[in-house]
Structure 1
Amino acid sequence: MNRILIPCVCMALATGSFGGQGATSSTSGLEQALSKAGSNARPLQDLLSELPAEQKAGAAFLIEHMSERDLTSIDKALLSSNIALAYQARASFPWGRDIPEDIFLNDVLPYAVVDETRENWRQGFFGLFGKLVHDSKSIRDAVLSINSKIGKLTGVDYNTLREKPNQSPSESIRQHMASCTGLAILLVDAFRSVGIPARFAGTASWHDNRGNHSWVEVWMDGKWYITEYYMPRQLDHPWFLANAGKANPDNRQYAIYATSFKQTGESFPMVWNDQSQEVHAVNVSQRYIDTCEAMEEQAVSQGTHVPVSIRIFKNSGSNSNSGDRVAVNVDVFDGQLQMDGGRTSGPLQDMNDVLTFLLEKNKTYTFRYQDASGNTKDITATVKDSPMTVDATFE
């Protein structure tokens, strides 16, 4: 049966009857995908035949590039609803017509972000976030509106007690909690529900082995911008930029990747499912390195920031040599807003190797870490007009 139907579907692609521009799926690629779908091939073929002409290219794109797991299990009704609502969002908001076809297909149309549970999140989100951005004049206004209101609208906050890292939107909303991975999935879907291109980004580990982190990138004005679930002061100014600036593009463990629905030859390093290669990705490390360097150079040249170093020693009075130093994770806060983070140098590192942050002058910051007993300790310091060092103890 599949051998009879597949050529018919692919012929529609070849003749352009799948809907004009954007028919970027290749005949051979779609045929190969359907051949892997097993008993789900027939429902997928029926979907391709039943959709309106302007949506067929989008469906073909999704089928060609989806994982083998989804090919054999994706629900036809879920996929059909997702496609219809994505095209509806594109037509409903003024920024939709300015989004290039390849960006729409890859970063608005997909029904999932990483390997989370497949569900019909788009319908509820189109109503919820569509009302929020209804009066937005630009894609930037819409992005900032969603960033600032998503926590209140969904009732979801960061909490490591969540059931699992890669939660779907409904799983996070049910629990009112998610880790950075779940929050990023939630935000990507919120953006996509109103036709804003968005993708999941992250690293398997920071350069100093302080663990992984996930966040979001949004597309506007022809480029990708960094943002997070908890609204940063402005786009491309996340608290972790200094860490991201130390990424290693040549080392998968320390590189930064952004997801791609389209096959790229690379996979996203999902630390919660590290054997899986089903989520496609692009290595974007260099852009973060360049962004960080440019921002630091600007801050220094404008004279608004100075280097602030922090050293942590075993106990008070023991800060005379490198052997007394302790390697500890330190987070930097401006009030409740996290600005940066890093790991202090330990006893085997050179005395000149000191954890240093670039912080704004005449502002008071809190340096937070855990002591030898596991208790959280806060050290508060006001940044002066010249470089300074903050010393703390681990006892």
Structure 2
Amino acid sequence: MWIFKLLSVTILGVAYGSQGNQQYAGHLESWKRRDLEQKVLALLQATDPVDEIKRAVKFIVEHMPPKDFHDPVVTALYVVKNIQLAFEAKKRFQDRWTGENLPELLFFNDVLPYAVMREPRTHWRSTLQPFMVNVVQDCKNAKCAVLALNKLAWSIVDPAIIFVAAPPNMLNGYSVAEVMEHHNASCTGLTIFLVSALRSVGIPARAAGVPHWHKGPKVCPDGDSSPECGNHNWVEVFADGAWYFVDQRGVLNELNKGWFFPDPVSKQYHSNTSLNHSVFATSWAPSHTLVSEYYYKNFTATARFPMVWDWDTHVNGWETVAWYNNLTRSSTESGNLAEVK
């Protein structure tokens, strides 16, 4: 009997200790968020409780990935610089891109963040902004700016950045700095680069993609393991009041055009049991906190943006497969690629 009691106490102690460790970790993370927020606000001298800057700081820090608190690059000064440059771009271009009606949460979620996925954190905004500002200087609206950047942003280095395929479910260049250093990247690296270029001039942008294409057994006899059914990423932008997709370094003169539309993206579908064959887009904040916003009304809140090269890492996201299905139907019925706001 005493052995049983000893065992019970031991098991309970381990369980309690594990729970205590989780609680401690949660308290520590909360403390780190509050501490970073206060340091950033102090550096920005943002003391007005109704100040947009203060709300921006709270939004970014509140939704920072926990791993970033251990990243030596992500300091208070790093966050400050990103916020300052994002607001600088907004002030410079908002009259041309959106007028004064760019929704605050759209700016916070799809322009302000210092990262897109889990790419290495770098000072990309200060690197890209001067060049990208020159690229879009003659544009009078956001669509013009998006097309100009998709055509010319790659020439920030010489030779220009090009697409180089990575092995299935793997990466070959991820952060903006790596893409520029190597002068090439796979679809994921090119996506992050163009999203960052767009954000650097104040245009809301995010990464989109599929974990696996659903092309069927004839094309992919080994299912999702077949190279033809690997992952793919591309860009989505909010331009002149509507969302569009962009085939990065692909179709250069039109939005909502790409090798993957309408086929094979029209074959993707929602499933309650698997993420593999749907379509997703990234989000800085958990998407369930944004579903009431009008400009996200066509997207479904989901727990994460799945990354097949790193399934265990969490990135917030939307499920957007219904939006692409509607876009396909609209384009088929009208013969044109309609806006889907």
Same fold by TM-score greater than 0.5: yes
Alpha-carbon contact 2:36-2:76 (below 8 Å) kept: yes
Alpha-carbon contact 2:204-2:237 (below 8 Å) kept: yes
Q: Does 1:103 align with 2:123?
A: no
Aligned with residue 64 of structure 1, among 51, 59, 62: 62
- Judge which range, 268-277 or 180-189, deviates more: 268-277
In structure 1, C-alpha distance between the alignment counterparts of 2:76 and 2:309, rounded to whole Å: 28
1:48 deviation in Å? 2.2
1:230 deviation in Å? 1.2
Q: Could you say if the C-alpha distance between residues 131 and 176 of structure 1 is closer, same or farther in structure 2, counting changes exceeding 3 Å?
A: same
1:44 deviation in Å? 3.7
1:216 deviation in Å? 0.2
In structure 2, C-alpha distance between the alignment counterparts of 1:263 and 1:40, rounded to whole Å: 16
> Which residue does 2:265 correspond to in 1?
244
Aligned with residue 213 of structure 1, among 232, 256, 259: 232
In the alignment, residue 246 of structure 1 is paired with which amino acid? K
Q: Which structure is richer in relative contact order (CA contacts within 8 A, separation 6 or more)?
A: 2
In the alignment, residue 149 of structure 2 is paired with which amino acid? I
Q: Does 1:174 align with 2:181?
A: yes
1:34 deviation in Å? 8.0
Alpha-carbon contact 2:282-2:316 (below 8 Å) kept: yes
Bigger-Rg structure (1/2): 1
In structure 2, C-alpha distance between the alignment counterparts of 1:120 and 1:282, rounded to whole Å: 26
Alpha-carbon contact 2:141-2:240 (below 8 Å) kept: no
Share of identical aligned residues, percent? 34
In structure 2, C-alpha distance between the alignment counterparts of 1:215 and 1:222, rounded to whole Å: 20
> Which residue does 1:146 correspond to in 2?
149
Q: Secondary structure at the match of 2:309?
A: helix
Q: Secondary structure at the match of 2:264?
A: helix
TM-score, reference length from structure 2: 0.73
Aligned with residue 164 of structure 1, among 171, 174, 180: 171
In structure 2, C-alpha distance between the alignment counterparts of 1:191 and 1:217, rounded to whole Å: 10
In the alignment, residue 243 of structure 1 is paired with which amino acid? P
Unaligned ranges ≥5, structure 1: 1-31, 301-395
In structure 2, C-alpha distance between the alignment counterparts of 1:34 and 1:90, rounded to whole Å: 35
In structure 2, C-alpha distance between the alignment counterparts of 1:215 and 1:127, rounded to whole Å: 24
In structure 1, C-alpha distance between the alignment counterparts of 2:26 and 2:43, rounded to whole Å: 19
In structure 2, C-alpha distance between the alignment counterparts of 1:34 and 1:135, rounded to whole Å: 50
Q: Secondary structure at the match of 1:202?
A: strand
Q: Does 1:45 align with 2:38?
A: yes
Q: Does 1:116 align with 2:119?
A: yes
In the alignment, residue 297 of structure 1 is paired with which amino acid? E
| Higher helix proportion (structure 1 or 2) | 2
In structure 1, C-alpha distance between the alignment counterparts of 2:172 and 2:305, rounded to whole Å: 15
TM-score, reference length from structure 1: 0.64
Q: Could you say if the C-alpha distance between residues 70 and 37 of structure 1 is closer, same or farther in structure 2, counting changes exceeding 3 Å?
A: farther
Q: Could you say if the C-alpha distance between residues 33 and 222 of structure 1 is closer, same or farther in structure 2, counting changes exceeding 3 Å?
A: farther
> Which residue does 1:85 correspond to in 2?
85
CA deviation vs aligned residue, 1:239-266 (integer Å, no higher than 9, x gap):
1011111111224100000100011351
Equivalent positions of 1:1-395 (< 5 A) are 35-36=28-29, 42-53=35-46, 54-73=52-71, 74-93=74-93, 94=95, 95=97, 97-154=100-157, 155-160=160-165, 164-165=171-172, 167-208=174-215, 209=224, 210-232=229-251, 233-241=253-261, 242-250=263-271, 251-264=274-287, 266-277=303-314, 279-299=315-335
In the alignment, residue 195 of structure 2 is paired with which amino acid? V
What is the number of equivalent residue pairs in this alignment?
Answer: 268
1:295 deviation in Å? 2.0
In the alignment, residue 248 of structure 2 is paired with which amino acid? Y
CA deviation vs aligned residue, 1:91-135 (integer Å, no higher than 9, x gap):
011226331111100000000000000011001211010111122
Alpha-carbon contact 1:63-1:71 (below 8 Å) kept: no
Q: Could you say if the C-alpha distance between residues 46 and 33 of structure 1 is closer, same or farther in structure 2, counting changes exceeding 3 Å?
A: farther
In the alignment, residue 309 of structure 2 is paired with which amino acid? W
Q: Secondary structure at the match of 2:267?
A: coil
In the alignment, residue 80 of structure 2 is paired with which amino acid? S
In structure 2, C-alpha distance between the alignment counterparts of 1:89 and 1:78, rounded to whole Å: 17
Alpha-carbon contact 1:150-1:229 (below 8 Å) kept: no
Alpha-carbon contact 1:202-1:257 (below 8 Å) kept: yes
- Judge which range, 165-174 or 49-58, deviates more: 49-58
In the alignment, residue 117 of structure 2 is paired with which amino acid? V
Q: Could you say if the C-alpha distance between residues 274 and 161 of structure 1 is closer, same or farther in structure 2, counting changes exceeding 3 Å?
A: closer
